[in-house]
Structures are given as structure tokens and as C-alpha cells.
Amino acid sequence: MKQLMRTSVPLYERTNRFRIYEHNVIPGLFQTPDYAAAMLRFWIDFLDTPNDLDEAVEARMSRQKIIYRTEKRFEVLLEEQALRTWFGDSATQIGQLERILTVESLPNVRLGIIPMMIERPCVASMGFWIYDERLVLMETPTASIEVTMPSEIELYTRMFDLLGRVSVYDESARCLVRAAIEDLAPTK
């Protein structure tokens, strides 16, 4: 897992505009160490790979430095379901949601959330990341799919734009995140 986390660093360095769509997880660039550990622990066990969890989490956290580089742009669309899909316990999920609120406030990050109960123009079949206009990358449990044909990249760009039109942003997005936190917080 550690090596997998490190392979994307050169691509991140070359990319200026990231367009990220995730339907059921928080993107690795925005994950807390606890959330990342809970998710990676599952994959290490499921795929029966060597247990390098601590090193993999450290590598994932290290590559997050890229989001603080102001010349990089991050446009992120999350399905509301991603806010409500747990990895770890409720404290881990609350910490992750609070991290989303922090990252969302960065000047080079634009976060849109697609509410669950809306009429939609489309449904993407899986999460995808668009790197500038050069590459679309999708991860499955056992492989990465790389799309490099310009006509196919354009299709993913169109899908991203359609999903963006039904997303909520700014205070409306923060309200959805805070609502998910409130649903997890213990009653007093």
C-alpha cells in the first residue's frame, strides 16, 4: 500500500487542475489519518497484501501537501452519501467531516456536494479524477483504469460538469456536512 500511495506523487506534481468526483468515499487528498487508516486497513486485509499500514498512511498524509500549493486548483464533487459512509468509528467519521470543512475553506479548493434527494441529470458509475486535460483515472478494487484519449476525457469532463450543476456549494455544502456531523454526534 505504501508504494501505491507514492506512485501518484509525480502525477500530482505535474497537474495544475484536479477535478475529483467521488460517490462513496472522501478523496485521499482530504482524508484524516484515522479515516485513511480505517479504509486502508480494510484493503490490506481484503487484498491480503503485506501490512504496511503505518507507512501507507504516512505516505497518504505526505502527498496531501499538494493541496496547500496555491497554484494548484481542486474542484471536488462528493455525493452526500460519501459524507455518510463510515470508515472507522463515529469519532473517526466526525473528525473526517470536520476536516472536510477545513479543507473546503482553502482558496484553491471548490467543494460541491450532490444532495441525495434531488432530481438528477445523470449518475456516474464510479468515482473518477481528471488531471488537467490529460488523464482520467479510476480505481477499482484490483486495478487502475487510465483514460488518455481526448474524446473520452471530454466525456468525463462533460459528466463532471453535469454533476456540478446539481451540486450545492459554499454555505449550502457546509450545511450538509454539519448535518452529517450532527447525526453522528452523541446526544447530550
Give the 3-state secondary structure of 123-154.
CCCCCEEEECCCEEEEECCCCEEEECCHHHHH
Please, are residues 27 and 84 in contact by the beta-carbon 8 Å criterion?
A: no
* Whole-angstrom distance, CA of residue 101 vs CA of residue 109: 11
- H or E segment and range at residue 19: strand 17-22
- Mean pLDDT, the chain, integer: 91
Judged against a pLDDT cut of 50, whether residue 132 lies above it is answered with yes
The whole-number pLDDT of residue 174 equals 98
Q: Do the beta carbons of residue 74 and residue 130 sit within 8 Å?
A: no
| Span 36-52, pLDDT tens digits | 999 988 888 888 888 88
Instruction: Return the CATH fold of 2-184.
Output: Endonuclease; Chain A (3.30.870)
pLDDT at 127 over 90: yes
> Which residue ranges make up each domain of the chain?
2-184
Average pLDDT of span 81-91: 93
Compute the C-alpha angle 172/89/100, nearest 5°: 30
Helix (H, G, I), strand (E, B) or coil at 68: helix
Query: Model pTM greater than 0.85?
Result: yes
pLDDT computed for residue 144 by the predictor: 87
Residue 56 is predicted with a pLDDT of: 86
Q: Is the dihedral of CA 102, 106, 109, 32 positive or negative?
A: negative
CB-based contacts of 24: which residues, under 8 Å, 6+ apart?
79, 81, 82, 85, 127
